A and B are shown apart, each in its own frame.
Chain A
Amino acid sequence: MSLDLNFVFRVLVFPGFAFILLFTMFCDWVERKIEARMQNRMGPIYTGPVGVLQPLADFIKLLTKEDIVPFNAKNFVFRFAPIVSLSIFVFSFAFLPIDGASVVSGSNFEGDLILVLTLVSIANFLLFLSGWSSTNPYSAIGATRVLTQLLGYDIPLFILALAPAFLAGSLNIAAIANKQYVPFAFLIPWTFALFIINLQAELEKDPFDVPHAETEIVAGYETEYTGRRLAFLKLAKDVQMVLGAAIAVELFLGGPYGPIFYGLSAVWYTLWFVLKLLIVVVVTEYLTCIFARLRIDQVLVVNWKLLLPLALLSLAVTVGVGLWLNPL
């Protein structure tokens, strides 16, 4: 990894930091507009051309707000948990090929799928810490719910992620994305469906929206946060949403690779990546709008009694399909 201008440009601007944050805000805008349209409303329209800059306005406003740290909150964890979780999410983008090659070219190694998934669960653990460190009873309950729900849903996530890895015969995300002449979503649709449901739970979207359920526990682990830290916490949440969708795109929809018509392949790859990601975001938003929020024990029942056995079953069936595809 030579430390030249190209490397700095790739990491800081294009498929790296700036692109991800702007793309996250764009996805947040898409999500709010789609949700508004599904509820027959208009959604933000006055900030920026069609309200596109609304997430940016929210972010900057939060930055300029007064910063309150509760008196007996555990200072160190309270201050740094949001920023660290945000950086972990953005860091785990480094391994996903966005424009044909991963952000840090040549940084793909065998097994980076496992690394990305563990990074996601570490960041979730940090969200738990952020809730636990603010001494508000509501955020304590929200934090414990984050723990029970997210760590519970990581196991089926891992199992479902192994299915495409098995089909592609490698644990390297770039390789998996490369090998998909036919996107795995069509090959093993049931695994893709389960992965999307699991994604709903990971991102605390509506059927599993328990950790920051407004009506029961005020704002869950975000209750005590204000100003800059709240901005980072919300941004971390949005980046996690885009990251989840990106993993789904990489593993099941063939990543950035798609038919190239003419011109620079990197441009086309990025367009394909953005298009597929928006499809996944719209699908998750659709699921959010049609479900009510489940109780915490129902969420666990769905996880252990329904999702886990189905994930194991789908893995077995995928092995069968894999063996039938290219026999040993």
Chain B
Amino acid sequence: MKWARLKSPWVLHFNSGACNACDIEVVALLTPRYDVERFGILLEPSPRHADILLTTGVVTRQCADRLKRIYEQMPEPKFVIAIGACACSGGVFEGNYNVIGGVDKVIPVDVYIPGCPPKPEAIIDGVVKLLKSIEGGKQSGKR
């Protein structure tokens, strides 16, 4: 069963307050040059269908409960990748009044991809590392 789970990781993208530089790199992954469909990755519209949640951007106060609700809507086993300095730790906006901070303050994060924005290859490298860690028996979500 693990073979199937590794070969078709469906992805959902949620931007919880980013400057959309990382978002256009995530969307660029689908385009011909990087084409993540090679790995069987599809961008799914609904949290119900997704296995991996790609979060970009610092978590603003209004987006925090949305992020949590989407994370809870996703069926097990689910994983979270934080893309970009803002998602990893709040980046440049750390400490502003409407900003809670990195994504790991709200939901458990499995892979951190630093960079502002990380190159699409770096994001693919992050996903490949996540898949390797799943292969190595990493449980979803639990610390």
Question: Which residues of B sit under 8 angstroms from A214, Cβ to Cβ?
Answer: 45
B4 closest partner in A (C-beta):
A60
Q: Quick check: is A297 within 8 A (CB to CB) of the other chain?
A: no
CB–CB B35/A36 < 8 A: yes
CA distance A42 to B51 in the complex (A): 22
Q: Quick check: is B1 within 8 A (CB to CB) of the other chain?
A: yes
CB–CB A57/B37 < 8 A: no
Question: Which residues of A sit under 8 angstroms from B45, Cβ to Cβ?
Answer: 214, 218-219, 223
The smallest C-beta distance from A223 to any residue of chain B, in angstroms, reads: 5
CB–CB A64/B7 < 8 A: no
The smallest C-beta distance from A51 to any residue of chain B, in angstroms, reads: 8
CB–CB A225/B75 < 8 A: no
User: In the complex, how many residue pairs between chain A and chain B have their CB atoms under 8 Å apart?
Assistant: 87
The smallest C-beta distance from A185 to any residue of chain B, in angstroms, reads: 33
The smallest C-beta distance from B125 to any residue of chain A, in angstroms, reads: 15
Question: Which residues of A sit under 8 angstroms from B75, Cβ to Cβ?
Answer: 65-68, 226-227
What are 11 of the A-B contact pairs (CB < 8 Å)? A51-B40, A53-B7, A54-B7, A58-B4, A58-B8, A61-B5, A65-B51, A65-B76, A222-B46, A227-B75, A230-B49
Contact of A64 (CB < 8 Å), options: B4, B38, B46? B4
CA distance A212 to B86 in the complex (A): 33
CB–CB B4/A57 < 8 A: yes
> What 0/1 pattern do residues 39 to 58 of B give for CB contact below 8 A with A?
11000111011010000000
Contact of A219 (CB < 8 Å), options: B1, B39, B49, B77? B49
Interface residues of A (CB under 8 A from B): 32, 36, 39-47, 51, 53-54, 56-61, 64-68, 214, 218-219, 222-227, 230
CB–CB B37/A42 < 8 A: yes
Question: Which residues of B sit under 8 angstroms from A57, Cβ to Cβ?
Answer: 3-4, 7-8, 40
The smallest C-beta distance from A33 to any residue of chain B, in angstroms, reads: 10
Contact of B46 (CB < 8 Å), options: A46, A65, A67, A219? A219
Known A-B contacts A60-B4, A65-B75; the reply to A42 vs B48 at CB < 8 A is: no
Interface residues of B (CB under 8 A from A): 1, 3-5, 7-8, 31-32, 35, 37-40, 44-46, 48-49, 51, 75-77
Question: Which residues of B sit under 8 angstroms from A225, Cβ to Cβ?
Answer: 48-49
CB–CB B37/A32 < 8 A: yes
CA distance A238 to B51 in the complex (A): 22
Other 15 A-B pairs with CB < 8 A, given A42-B38, A61-B4, A214-B45 = A36-B37, A41-B32, A42-B35, A44-B37, A46-B39, A54-B8, A57-B7, A57-B8, A58-B8, A64-B5, A219-B49, A223-B48, A224-B48, A226-B48, A227-B75
B75 closest partner in A (C-beta):
A66
Output the residue of A44, A218, A222 with the most chain B CB within 10 A: A44
Question: Which residues of A sit under 8 angstroms from B37, Cβ to Cβ?
Answer: 32, 36, 41-44
CA distance A209 to B4 in the complex (A): 28
B48 closest partner in A (C-beta):
A226
CB–CB B40/A58 < 8 A: yes
CB–CB A226/B1 < 8 A: no
Question: Which residues of B sit under 8 angstroms from A36, Cβ to Cβ?
Answer: 35, 37
CA distance A40 to B4 in the complex (A): 26
Question: Which residues of B sit under 8 angstroms from A32, Cβ to Cβ?
Answer: 37
CA distance A66 to B140 in the complex (A): 12
Contact of B7 (CB < 8 Å), options: A41, A42, A46, A67? A46
Question: Which residues of B sit under 8 angstroms from A64, Cβ to Cβ?
Answer: 1, 4-5
The smallest C-beta distance from A212 to any residue of chain B, in angstroms, reads: 9
Output the residue of A58, A65, A223 with the most chain B CB within 10 A: A65
The smallest C-beta distance from A68 to any residue of chain B, in angstroms, reads: 6
CA distance A42 to B77 in the complex (A): 28
Contact of B48 (CB < 8 Å), options: A46, A58, A230? A230
Question: Which residues of B sit under 8 angstroms from A39, Cβ to Cβ?
Answer: 32
B1 closest partner in A (C-beta):
A64
Known A-B contacts A36-B37, A41-B32; the reply to A47 vs B8 at CB < 8 A is: yes
The smallest C-beta distance from B27 to any residue of chain A, in angstroms, reads: 13
